[in-house]
Amino acid sequence: MKTNLLLLFVFIYAGVFGQSVIGVDTLRKSGPISKRINLVLMGDGYVTTEIPQYITDATTVSSYLLNTSPFSRYKNYFNVYAIKCVSPQSGVTHAGTATDVTEPASPIINVTNYFDTQFDNYNIHRLIYSNDQNTVYSVLASNFPNYDQVVILGNSTEYGGAGGAYAVSSVNSNSKEIVAHEMGHSFAGLADEYWAGPSYAAEKPNMTATSNTTTIKWAPWIGTNGIGAYAYGTAAPDNGWFRPHQNCKMRYLGSPYCSVCAQTIIEKIHSLTNPIDEYTPSNTGAVGAQWFKSKLIQPNPNTLKRTWTLNSTVMANNIDSVLINAGALPAGNNMLTLTVVDTTNLSRDMNHAAFHTFSIVWSVNKNIIAGLEEAKAQLEFSVYPNPASNVINLKYNVLEAAQLNITVTDLSGKAVIKVDNTKTLAGQYVKEIDVNALTEGVYFLSITLNGQTTNTKFVIFK
C-alpha cells in the first residue's frame, strides 16, 4: 500500500513538475556489480505512462546486443540496468534543419525531453544525440556511478543514432545495429573499417599501416573466416591503411563482427573482468589442508580451462574444487595454485595467455588445522595398486548417502573413463576399474560426491 502511494506520488510529481528519475530496473543480473561489466541504459522522451514501453525497448536493445556474437558467448559477464527517466514530453525533437536530406524528412516537432535528445544535430538528419551532457552525467552520478557502458534510447521510431562518450539510438528496429557498432568503438576501441578520413587513420586493433600478412597484427587469422589485409581504398592515403575484413559490422551495419573485432571484444571483456568469480577459502595466506573451491563466470560454451597445481605439479584439471589432505602434504608451506585461461577459438591473440591468465595462489600448511573435518566427513578413498597395469581398485568410504560420479582423466583433462553416476548409500565400497585400454602415463581419478570433487593421481605402467 505504502509502495503504491509512493509510486502514485512519483507519477503525479513527474506529471506536474516535469522530469524525474523514478528508479533503476535490473534487466539482467549475472553477478555482483563489482565483478561484472555493467551496461546502463537511459531513456529519453518517455513520459510517465510510457515507462513500461521504455523498459520493453531497453530489454529489446540490450538483448539484441548480448545475443550478438561474441557478446552472446559472454553474456554471463554482463549486468544490464535501465535508469527510468521521466520526460516532461514524449518523443525526440526533430527541428527540420538537416541539410543532408530534403526537410521535412519526418514531421517537425519540438520536444522538451530529459537529455535534450534530438535529430538533425550538426545539420545531419539521422544524427540523434543527447546534448544535455550535464544532465546525462548527473543522472549517472546519482543513480549508477559505476557504469561501464552507457546507451541512451530516444523515444522515436525514426532511424538514427550516434556514438561518443555514450551511445545514442532511436528505437527504430534497425537502430539496434547502431548500438552494436558503437559498442565496437566505445567498448573495444575498434576503428571503423570504412574510410573515415585521414584524420582517423591510426593503428588500432583492426586497422594498420602494415600489409605484410606474416607480420600484420592479426597474422594468426590470415586466411581464416575471410580475414586478410584489405586496403581501405585504391588511392593515397586510403591505400596505405588496411582492414582485416571486407564485410564487418565496423564497416556495414547488419554484418557480423569479423574475427579480429570479435577477438578484440573478448580480450576487452577479460581485461575488465576476472573469470574467477568466487573462491574459498577466501584467505589465501597460510591455511590448513581442506577443500579448496572455485566458481567461474562461464562463457557459453564454457571455454575456460581450470588447472590446479600443488607445488607446480598439476593435480587436476577442469574441476570446481580439490581436497588437500594434510597427510599428503610436505612439511612447511605448500603452494596450491588455481589457474584459469579462456581457450576460446574466437581468440588467437598472441598475448592472450600472457595477459589473461587468472590465478589464485593459496599457501597451504599441513600443521594448520582448518576445514579438514568437514572434508573427511563426506568421503574417504584410496586407489591400489599404484602404479597399475590392467585394473585399479578404488576403495571408498561414503559417510552419508550421496550422488557419486567417478571419472578418470588424462593429463590434458580429457575424460578417458566414466564409471558411475549413481545414488550411493553410506558404507564401504571397493570398485574394480578396468584400465586395460589406457596407455602408459599419469592419470587422475576424480570422485564427485554431491558436487564436491576429490582427486588422486595414479600411474599406468605396462
Partner 1 sequence: MQCNTHLKYRCAITVMAVLMLFSCRAKKINEEKPFPEKAAFYTFEAIRDTVKNTTAFKVLKVTVVDTKLNYSPDNAKANNPNSIKVEITESHKTIVAYADHPLFKKFDLYGDSGEITSKLISLPKAQVTLRVPYFEEYRTIKITETVNFKMSNPILIKHEN
Site residues (CB under 8 A) for partner 1?
Answer: 34, 100, 121-122, 124, 126-127, 129, 133-134, 137-138, 140-142, 145-146, 159-165, 177-178, 181-182, 189, 192, 194, 196-197, 199-200, 202-204, 251-255, 271-272
Do residues 111 and 91 lie in contact, with contact meaning Cβ atoms separated by under 8 Å?
yes
Nearer of residues 63 and 274 to partner 1, judged by Cβ: 274
**In a 3-state reduction of DSSP, which class is residue 409?**
strand
Distance CA 280, CA 262 (A): 33
- Residue closer to partner 1 by CB (options 137, 279) is 137
What is the spatial order of strands in the sheet that 20-28 belongs to?
Answer: 20-28, 78-86, 37-44, 149-154, 167-170, 161-162
Give min distance, CB of 161 to partner 1, in A: 7
CB of 194 to partner 1, least distance (A): 5
Contact assessment for residue 129 and residue 168, using Cβ atoms and an 8 Å cutoff: yes
Pick between residue 156 and residue 452 the one whose CB is nearest to partner 1. Answer: 156
- Report how far residue 321's alpha carbon sits from residue 329's, in angstroms, rounded to the nearest whole number: 17
Nearer to partner 1 (CB atom), residue 24 or residue 140: 140
- CB nearer to partner 1: give 194 or 384: 194
Q: Cα separation of 66 and 74, whole Å?
A: 8
27, 82 contact by CB (below 8 A): yes
Contacts of 443 (CB under 8 A, 6+ apart): 408, 409, 410, 411, 416, 435, 457, 458, 459, 460
Nearer to partner 1, 35 or 75 (CB): 35
Instruction: Mention every residue, 6+ apart, whose C-beta is less than 8 A from residue 282.
Output: none
Pair type for strands 129-130 and 149-154: unpaired
User: What DSSP element (H or E) covers 141?
Assistant: helix 133-143
Rounded-to-integer distance, Cα 208 and Cα 383, Å = 57
**At its nearest, how many Å lie between partner 1 and the CB of residue 133?**
6
Nearest-approach distance from CB 41 to partner 1, in angstroms? 17
Which amino acid, 394? L
Q: Which residues pair with 94 in a beta bridge?
A: 109
Nearer to partner 1, 157 or 271 (CB): 271
Do the Cβ atoms of 291 and 321 come closer than 8 Å? Answer: yes
Q: Which residues lie closer than 8 Å to 5 by C-beta, 6 or more apart?
A: none
Whether residue 308 contacts residue 317, with contact meaning beta carbons closer than 8 Å, is answered with: yes
CA-wise closest residue to 50 among 171, 167, 149, 160 = 171
**Nearest distance in Å: CB 147, partner 1:** 9
Q: Which helix (H) or strand (E) holds 117?
A: strand 117-118
> Which residues contact residue 462 at a Cβ distance below 8 angstroms, ignoring those fewer than 6 apart?
389, 439, 440
CB of 361 to partner 1, least distance (A): 19
Q: How many beta carbons lie within 10 A of that of residue 461, not counting itself?
A: 11
**CA–CA distance, 239 with 225 (Å, rounded to integer):** 22
Minimum Å gap between C-beta 447 and partner 1 is 38
| Nearest distance in Å: CB 191, partner 1 | 9
Q: Least distance to partner 1 from the beta carbon of 310, Å? A: 30
CB closer to partner 1, 169 vs 365: 169
Rounded distance, CA 382 to CA 394, Å? 6
Nearest residue (CB) to partner 1, 255 versus 334: 255
Task: Please state the closest distance from residue 249 (CB atom) to partner 1, in A.
Answer: 9
- Residue closer to partner 1 (CB basis): 17 or 122: 122
**Closer Cβ to partner 1, 262 or 310, answer by number:** 262
CB of 126 to partner 1, least distance (A): 6
CB of 84 vs partner 1, minimal distance in Å: 19
Instruction: Using the minimum distance from each CB to partner 1, give the nearer residue, 178 or 341.
Output: 178
